[in-house]
A and B are shown apart, each in its own frame.
Chain A
């Protein structure tokens, strides 16, 4: 089975621009979660999607949004980029999102905002 894939792997943007990141979960997995990883704040939960519905949301501003398609692929969008948005964005999937399940992570998208 192919693992979780994320595209693009690296991205450089300037302040004020917007960006869209993509995540394809493991086949058959219906839950997709997004995390932001920075050296200072560590890993922080952004949101979780299950069957095309946002089921959980972290404490991020409205500039961060996401969606999930019928094939479980997910995208996250960040509008009006700020320098502080520079981070590794990780996507994780699991079959049903049941509590306590292992999360399978993708390699991440490294976003640099100049």
Chain B
């Protein structure tokens, strides 16, 4: 069974600095998708960034980028120039690529990130 581990329950960073959130996963699959979702306090979950496992190039979305190490099964999120609005719970999630009828997101327990002024 697939599992997703986020080893940092809480992190903090000063505004304008860079922070990296860790995520490791376990799977025997070769084709899959990885996601980072953000859940701000009392607000809706939104997608931050997505990575297809067959793509070697790391995904980037503005200030957000990932370091995808397929062999190490590691998928870390780097937030550059942190802003107060980045304060949120961040979840790493996995989905099998050949899921058939087992198409679901498997989630880590999350990292609570606080951006301090």
Rounded to whole angstroms, the CA-CA distance of A97 and B102 in the bound complex is 12
B contacts with A, residue count (CB < 8 A): 26
What range describes how many residues of A lie at the interface? 20 to 34
Check: A105 CB closer than 8 A to any chain B CB. Answer: yes
Contact across chains for B95 and A45 when beta carbons are under 8 A apart: no
Contacts A100-B95, A105-B44 given; does A56 touch B102 at CB 8 Å:
yes
Closest chain-A Cβ to B13's Cβ sits at a distance in Å of 23
- In this assembly, does B15 line the interface, its C-beta being within 8 Å of a C-beta of chain A? no
Within the complex, the shortest CB–CB distance from A39 to chain B, in Å, comes to 9
Is A55 close to B, CB under 8 A?
A: yes
Residue in B37, B44, B46, B105 whose CB lies within 8 Å of A45: B105
Q: With A and B bound together, what is the CA distance between A45 and B103 in angstroms?
A: 10
Q: Could you give, for residues 93-114 of chain A, a 1 whenever the CB lies within 8 Å of some chain B CB and a 0 otherwise?
A: 0000101101101111000000
A98 — nearest CB in chain B belongs to which residue?
B103
> Which B positions have Cβ atoms within 8 angstroms of A?
33, 37, 43-47, 50, 52, 91, 93, 95-99, 101-110
